[in-house]
Amino acid sequence: MLHIGAHLSSSKGFEKMGKDALFIKADTFQFFTRNPQGGKAKDINAPDVQKFLEISNQNHFAPIVAHAPYTLNPCSDNLKTREFAELVFNDDLKRMEYVPFNYYNFHPGSHVGQGTDVAIEMISTLLNKVLTPKQSTMVLLETMSGKGSEVGSTFEELKEIMGRVECQDKIGVCMDTCHVYSAGYDIKEDLDGVLEKFDNIIGLEKLKAIHLNDSKTPFASHKDRHEKIGEGSLGAEALIKFVNHPLLKHLPFVLETPNDLKGWASEIEFLRANFND
């Protein structure tokens, strides 16, 4: 069984996302915890969450993935921005306990000229402030393409951050296929080699979720432009191989392709048709 979904709009609440997921034949999905450009999150509506949990249980959903806002930058050179990151992180993790035992994915951050060493220290400092042994949510670092001063475009950087985290059982990685390919990991021609690298540096047991995207830009371009499945530089064949890889096929896959619900429904149908149970 392929566990797959898409990045859905959270503006109408959890029940609506559950229904949208069913509509596109998904059994997982991702959503922004608040406006991706920052701002205040809407209050949790307990009956709405309850209805979602029923949908999720009845349909045996895989873990879902919350995505932190893009404005969350734990390694900014501005103290106010770092404080905002802590505030949002804490608030989001508190809210995630309404839908326990799922994932919270975030972009490690941009070092804005301070260098990766300083950034790695700042990111792990934030994680050690906000993670607690009793939370049920697992926090995922997203693999980045390396545009601008982004941290986390190499497995080594992710390892450095994670190695400093005290709550080891609350931290994992979400691999974005567009980002890693743009970052220079050739998952098209040498998926086995990339996974071996990941395993040696981070450990495959830390890989918890996948953002499944094609890429508008070529290999190692260090850009971040998602494309529809089969229409980009990765191509359908590589992405089909990816979801079928014995080391990956059990993971939840989330499409972040430029699509609407109908477009995602057909991508999911296509990938399910090409999935070997």
Using CB under 5 A as the binding rule, the residues of this chain from 235 to 264 that contact Fe ion are 256
Q: Does 224 bind Zn ion (CB under 5 A)?
A: yes
Rg (CA), the chain: 18
Q: Which does 224 bind (CB under 5 to 8 A by kind): Fe ion, Zn ion, none?
A: Zn ion
Q: By the 8 A CB rule, do 231 and 240 touch?
A: no
Task: Give the 3-state secondary structure of 237-268.
Answer: HHHHHHHHCCCCCCCEEEECCCCCHHHHHHHH
Q: Does 176 bind Fe ion (CB under 5 A)?
A: yes
Cα 209 to Cα 30, 66, 100, 102, 277: the distances in Å are: 11, 11, 16, 11, 18
Q: What SS3 state is found at 273?
A: helix
The Cα–Cα gap between 175 and 192 comes to 15
Q: Which does 15 bind (CB under 5 to 8 A by kind): Zn ion, Fe ion, none?
A: none
Compute how many residues bind Zn ion; rule: CB under 5 A: 1
User: Please, what is the minimum distance in Å from the beta carbon of residue 51 to Fe ion?
Assistant: 27
Q: Does 267 bind Zn ion (CB under 5 A)?
A: no
Task: Please report how the helices 191-201 and 155-163 are oriented relative to each other, as an axis angle in degrees rounded to 10.
Answer: 20
Candidates 6-14, 78-86, 119-127, 170-178 — which segment interacts with Fe ion by CB under 5 A? Answer: 170-178
For Fe ion, give the closer residue by CB, 15 or 150: 150
Q: Does 211 bind Fe ion (CB under 5 A)?
A: yes
For Fe ion, give the closer residue by CB, 107 or 188: 107
Q: By the 8 A CB rule, do 107 and 131 touch?
A: no
Contacts of 200 (CB under 8 A, 6+ apart): none
Q: Which does 27 bind (CB under 5 to 8 A by kind): Fe ion, Zn ion, none?
A: none
User: Please, what is the minimum distance in Å from the beta carbon of residue 179 to Fe ion?
Assistant: 6
- Name the β-bridge partners of 252: 3
User: Please, what is the minimum distance in Å from the beta carbon of residue 50 to Fe ion?
Assistant: 28
Binding footprint of Fe ion on the chain (CB under 5 A): 142, 176, 211, 256
Binding footprint of Zn ion on the chain (CB under 5 A): 224
